[in-house]
Each structure stands twice: as structure tokens, then as C-alpha cells.
Amino acid sequence: MSDRLTRDDVAKVAHLARLELTDAELDTYTEQLGAVLDHAADVAALDLADVPPTAHPLPLVNVLRDDVVAACLDREEVLAQAPAVEDGRFRVPAILGEEP
Amino acid sequence: MTAVGNLTHEPVEGDRFTITSEGTGDTWEIVVGLEVHCELATATKLFCGCPNHFGAEPNTNVCPVCLGLPGSLPVLNQNVVELAMRLGRALHCTVEPSVFARKNYFYPDMPKDYQVSQYDQPINVDGWLDLPDGTRVGIERAHIEEDTGKNTHAGGSGRIHGADYSLVDYNRAGVPLVEIVGRPHIRHPEQAKAYIDELRAILLATGASDAKMEEGSLRVDANVSVRRVGDATLGTRCEIKNLNSLRSLGRAIEYEARRQVDLLESGERVHQETRHWDEAAGRTRPGRSKEEAEDYRYFQEPDLVPLEPSAEWVAAVDAALPVLPAERRARLAEAAGVDPTETAVVVAVQRDLDSLALAAIGAGGDGRRVLTHVEHNLAVEGAESLDPAHFAQLVTMEVAGQLTATQAKAVLTDMVATGKAPDAIAAERGFEAMDTSQLEGIIDGIIAESPQEWAEFCGGDDKRRGKLQGFFVGKVMKATKGQADGKAVNAVLEARRAAAG
Ligand SMILES: [Zn+2]
């Protein structure tokens, strides 16, 4: 089992992602995520001074589109999937203290 | 936000705003860095073809991409890159290869639960902006990111605290923004306002944004800290949000600086936090405590490839840049033979009257007088269509003593209204130069009427003489119905006094 990651770390990340985990799941993910970090540490241990960082696996840059307006979705269709709607807007629960 | 690196451009200090404590006698200075978000003036959003349009019916400018529906993929808008680079180059930044990242957070203003932004590799880095007062404010970075949707808090008080629920409109979600992160080189609330004014002028000149603070297309957050004058290290800063006008910006900075000085003077500490400006109450209040950057779990956006504008593209952007306000001020100041920080120069550029002033000076008008008229007498509609040759002629008549300053102002007003030449207007209004002997005769008469005052004028101290000078000039103006030239009157009075003494 890795010592790079504690059960508390996993609980914190789960909270940030709004995931509710059982104690058993916390144990499982602590172990599995620890293995991922161990693997990353193996790569980090290599001498890669001459290797440029990879931003993306595809050998592509500058994928761009022209600034031309395209069709939007119909509002009724958009809102039809929402649990609650008011005045053409999505109605969501009040959220306190989490304004970004 | 990334760490602030070494300063590559030292700020040139303008006037500082200082607070001297009554208790300890210590003098504190304020240190301000501004973060400005501006919406780019594109036709479509950052990653989809939905219109970038303010004021549409809620949730009508949305599609699978900006709603974050499964299977949708973002594609970067070329015009966003173009406008971001125009702004960056106008701010003397270097254009670097850049990548996009996901900033993860749970809040209903982003349906994807993350905002796409440039994080550790922004497109524009390390530039500067020169203020009209000569202060150079460093620009750390100017990066591309997407705007969020708009929440309306309903029920309760209508504010976020006490709201029962929120209504969300995603028309703004995915609208392209550039965030301009300024270095903490600002030392005065007025400088902060001047920075925003100057930035807005650059945004408009480059066509990057319509920069309307009242519509929210330009939004300002202020990082404010204080330190004792002479201290080299920066104090703990607070980030002030909800600044909806330049007036709010200036007031909030001053309030916040005084709050921090009071805390520090009473032995307490400033806590790094986000605070909200309450314009009605005239104070800042603590907001949500700032999350750690790591809580956003930034990682590279896997759906977007890196952006590497070619050297040719950057060169084309440079070639198409308009003449920027700082350069326009420099040109006008040089032509007029004055300092570019002079108010008249700043005002001339702000009112878009610098080309008129340059043309008038080019046509032989005296630079100083042209600027004086632009500053004081041309804040009127139609001023920009004034004939520069007529303007130069007016100024020349004034310099030659054919018109007094008051008469010249009246003639100028008529010139703007009618388009007629100044000599024609002067003749119509009956403005004729008073010759010197005529003026001398009037002054001698007044001296003879007031022997007591004249004796005091000749023999009194400077203060008394100053008072009596006003007395005599007033009498001459009354006698000539304001047509006499003040300078000429003073010269005659002085000559008469020298002769009497
Ligand atoms: Zn869209």
C-alpha cells in the first residue's frame, strides 16, 4: 500500500467531486489511487531532462474554427430535461458559501 | 493564479496615497494589483457557434457544447485568439505557446462543473501598461477563459445569503473572456481608476471588447494590501469583488486600506480573504474564504490541443495594431511642446480631439493655446469637425492680442456651431482689438478717480497690492465691458506704478 496518499486525502477529493463514499470504498480507492501515484513516481524518477513535456497525445496544434454563428438548441427542448424550471431558467437549490 | 515572478519592469512611482496613523504616527502606503475580466467582442462563444450576445432571452443562446452535454466537443474560436493577441500585444506582452486547463468546482453557473481557462501556460505574458501620469504598471499575464452562466437568487432577500433557490441562465456560459492580471504596482485609488480608463481605451482601440462596466463586459477585482512606507515586503492582501463602477473601485480601495491599517495598528493581522464591496454601506464585507488553488484540481483540458500562434500571425497582429492612447499622447505633447502627463494632453486624447489639435498646431496654431481650448472650451458636440485651419487662425488672433481669452472662447463656440471663420465671427460680434493708447487713456482715468487706492497700490505690501490689482482690473473690465485684454491691463498698471515709484 502506498504512503503517497492517505485515506483523508481521498475523502477530501471525494468531497470536492461531491462523491459519497462508504468506508469500504474509501479503503479501496485509497489503495487504487496510491498505485496510480506509485506509477507516476516511477516515471518521475526517470531522467527526462531532454524530453519536452507532452501537452497532448495528439500531434496537433491550433485546431480552430471560424467565428461564425451556428444554430442553437430550442429552449423548450433544453429545459425539458431539467428537474425544475422557472421563467425560462433552470431552477436550482440555493447554494451558500460556494460561490466560485 | 500562478506565483508572481521577478519584476521585469520597475514601476515608476507617481503620487502615493498614504495614511498616517494618529496613534503611532506611522505612515502607510497602499499597494494595489488589479485583475480585470473582459468579454471579447466576437460573434460567437469561445468553443461553440452560439451567439455571444448580451441581453438575449434566457437560455436561447445555448447548445450541447456550452451546456456540457455528453459527447459534445469544444473547438476554439480563431477570432478569440486574434483578439486576445491584439490585446496582449497592445499591452506589450509576449505571445507564448499555451494550453487550456479545466478548473473544477461545483456551482450551478457552469453546467460542466468546470471552467475552461488557461492556467500554467497562458497566451500572453509579461507586459506593461503606462498610465497618463507616467506610472508603468506591469502586466503579469492576459489569458483566455470562458465566462460562466448567470445566477439570479430568488426568494429570501434576493442576495445569495438567505436565497431560497437560484435561477440560472446559460447564455453567458462559454462567452470568451480575457483575464488581465496586473502586478501590484498601483499606489493610489486614482491610479487604479486611471488604469481601468487606460485599459478600456486600449480594449476599444483594438476592438477586443466593448468594455462596458455597467453591462458587466468589463469586471474588476482589486487586490489590496498596506505596508509601512519604506517596507520592501508586501503585506497580506484581500481581494475585493463586486466593484461595479470606477467610483466603487476608488472608494473600496480607500476603505479597505484604512480597515487594514486599523487592524495592523491595533496589533491584529490581516487575513487573506475575498471581500465584497457594499456600495450603499460604503464598506467591504468578508465573502467566502478563498479556496486553495489545488482544490480546483486544475488539469489540462484533454478535448483541446495546444495553441501555438505562428510568428507570422503575431507579426500580422502587430502590423494591424492601431495607434494606442499612450503613443497619441506622446505625439500631441511633442507637437505642442509640453509634457505628455499634462491634463490637457490626456483630455485631448480621451475626447478624441488629438488629431484636431495636431492639425491646428500643424497649421501654425500655438500649441499651448490650442491645448487650453481643447481642455476647457471644446467639450461640446461637433468639436471634432472644427476646421483645423480656422482653429489655428483663432489662436493666432489671440496670441496677437486681437482677441482676449474670453472673446476667443465665444468665437470658438460660434465656430463650432456655424463653421464660419474666426475673423468673420469676431467682426459680427464687434470684437475689435483695443489699441494700447486707448487702453492707457481708460486706465489713467481710473487712476485719477481713485487716488487713495492708487497710492496704496504703489506703496503697499504684496498682499495689499494683489488685492488692489484686482480692484483696478475689475474697474477697467467694467469700463471696457470685458473687452480689454487682462494681460495688457496688468502691463499698463505695472508700467504706471514703476513710473510713479
Ligand atoms: Zn453553445
Query: Do B49 and B194 reside in the same domain of the chain?
Result: yes
Nearest residue in chain A measured CA to CA from B68: A78
| Cβ-based contacts of B48 with chain A (< 8 Å) | 70
- Among the three residues B410, B429, B448, which one is the final residue of a domain in this structure? B429
Query: Do B375 and B276 reside in the same domain of the chain?
Result: no
Q: Is residue B277 part of a domain?
A: yes
| pLDDT tops 80 at residue B157 | no
Burial B390-428 (b: 16+ CB within 10 A, else e): bbbbbbbbbeeebbbeebbbbbbebbbeeeebbbebbee
- Among the three residues B395, B429, B463, which one is the final residue of a domain in this structure? B429
Query: Do B359 and B243 reside in the same domain of the chain?
Result: no
Q: In angstroms, rounded to a whole number, what is the distance separating the alpha carbons of residues B392 and B412?
A: 11
Partner-chain residue, chosen from A17, A62, A99, that has the shortest CB–CB distance to B107: A99
Q: Is residue B386 part of a domain?
A: yes
What CATH number is associated with residue B455? 1.10.10
Q: Do B49 and A100 lie within an 8 Å CB cutoff?
A: no
pLDDT digits (tens, 9 = 90+) for B93-128: 999 999 999 999 888 889 998 999 999 999 999 999
Ligand 1 centroid from CA A69, angstroms: 10
Q: How many domains does chain B have?
A: 3
Return all residues near B446 (Cβ < 8 A) that are at least 6 apart: B472, B475, B476, B479
- The answer to whether residue A52 neighbours chain B at the CB level (below 8 Å) is no
The vertex-A64 CA angle with A60 and A69, nearest 5°, equals 155
- The answer to whether residue A14 neighbours chain B at the CB level (below 8 Å) is no
| pLDDT tops 80 at residue B160 | no
pTM as predicted:
0.81
Identify any residues that bridge with B27 across adjacent strands, giving them in sequence order.
B20
pLDDT digits (tens, 9 = 90+) for B318-328: 999 999 999 99
> Structural domain boundaries of chain A?
7-44
Instruction: Choose between A49 and A98: higher pLDDT.
Output: A49
Q: Do B305 and A62 lie within an 8 Å CB cutoff?
A: yes
pLDDT digits (tens, 9 = 90+) for B172-211: 999 999 999 999 999 999 999 999 999 999 999 999 999 9
CATH topology of domain A7-44: Histone, subunit A (1.10.20)
Residues of chain B with pLDDT > 90: what percent?
62
Instruction: Determine the distance in angstroms separating the CA of B357 from the nearest CA of chain A, rounded to an integer.
Output: 39
pLDDT at res. A2? 55
Query: Do B209 and B137 reside in the same domain of the chain?
Result: yes
Query: Do B242 and B144 reside in the same domain of the chain?
Result: yes
Q: Is residue B10 part of a domain?
A: no
Q: Which domain holds residue B187?
A: 20-296
| pLDDT tops 50 at residue B480 | yes
- The answer to whether residue B399 neighbours chain A at the CB level (below 8 Å) is no
Task: List the 25-64 stretch of B: residues with Cβ below 8 A of A.
Answer: 42-44, 48-51, 57-64
Cell numbers that stand for A56 in this block: 497532448
Query: Do B169 and B216 reside in the same domain of the chain?
Result: yes
Q: In angstroms, rounded to a whole number, what is the distance separating the alpha carbons of residues B262 and B19?
A: 10
pLDDT digits (tens, 9 = 90+) for B404-419: 888 899 999 999 999 9
Query: Do B371 and B457 reside in the same domain of the chain?
Result: no
Task: Looking at mean pLDDT, say which of B36-40, B272-276, B284-288, B475-479 comes out highest.
Answer: B36-40
Query: Do B257 and B399 reside in the same domain of the chain?
Result: no
B6-20, B202-216, B268-282: the lowest-pLDDT one = B6-20
pLDDT at res. B121? 95
Sheet strands (E) in chain A: 64-65, 85-86, 89-93
| pLDDT tops 80 at residue B9 | no
Query: Do B417 and B441 reside in the same domain of the chain?
Result: no
Q: Is residue B160 part of a domain?
A: yes
| Residue B26 backbone phi and psi in degrees, to 5 | -70, 150
Query: Do B425 and B444 reside in the same domain of the chain?
Result: no
pLDDT band at B465 (very low <50, low <70, confident <90, very high): confident
Query: Do B417 and B469 reside in the same domain of the chain?
Result: no
pLDDT digits (tens, 9 = 90+) for B223-252: 999 999 989 899 999 999 989 999 999 999
Query: Do B94 and B159 reside in the same domain of the chain?
Result: yes
